[in-house]
């Protein structure tokens, strides 16, 4: 399971959103939204990831995991950086000989608009 999550993180760090989303099942409900988030992040930032599985329940053909995911985003244009993290719940399933992510939420951590809003130069809007 860790290998699949590491491939997502590595693909994001390499600026390859297509490879990151390839680690998800074709039936993953938020696939298009997450693809847009991954593409937006990789186009706007250099990305470093820290992925820690904090809880794992393994079964023969699926695994339920809780992940503490930290994104370090560096704006290549202005040199600004932003670090944020969150807990993600995921379900991975075995499809033939390969493990893929079937459920992954919440995904707002990867929203490029939230990354901008929470950067030091753009504090979150007060309500």
Structural domain contains residue 111: yes
Structural domain contains residue 123: no
Q: Decide if 35 contacts 8 (C-beta within 8 A).
A: no
* The total number of structural domains that make up the chain: 1
Structural domain contains residue 49: yes
Structural domain harbouring 32: 2-117
Q: Decide if 36 contacts 67 (C-beta within 8 A).
A: no
Model confidence pLDDT, tens digit, residues 80-105? 888 999 999 999 999 988 999 999 99
Model confidence pLDDT, tens digit, residues 52-63? 999 999 999 999
Q: Give the pTM.
A: 0.86
């Amino acid at each position: 399971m860790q290998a699949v999550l590491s491939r997502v993180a590595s693909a994001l760090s390499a600026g390859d959103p297509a490879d990151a989303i390839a680690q998800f099942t074709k039936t993953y409900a938020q696939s298009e939204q997450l693809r847009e988030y991954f593409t937006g992040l990789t186009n706007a930032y250099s990305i470093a990831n820290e992925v820690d599985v904090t809880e794992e329940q393994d079964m023969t053909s699926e695994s339920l995991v809780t992940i503490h995911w930290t994104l370090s985003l560096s704006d290549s244009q202005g040199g600004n950086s932003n670090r944020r993290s969150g807990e993600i719940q995921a379900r991975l399933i075995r499809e033939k000989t390969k493990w893929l992510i079937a459920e992954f939420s919440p995904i707002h951590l990867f929203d490029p608009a939230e990354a901008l809003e929470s950067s030091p130069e753009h504090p979150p809007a007060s309500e």
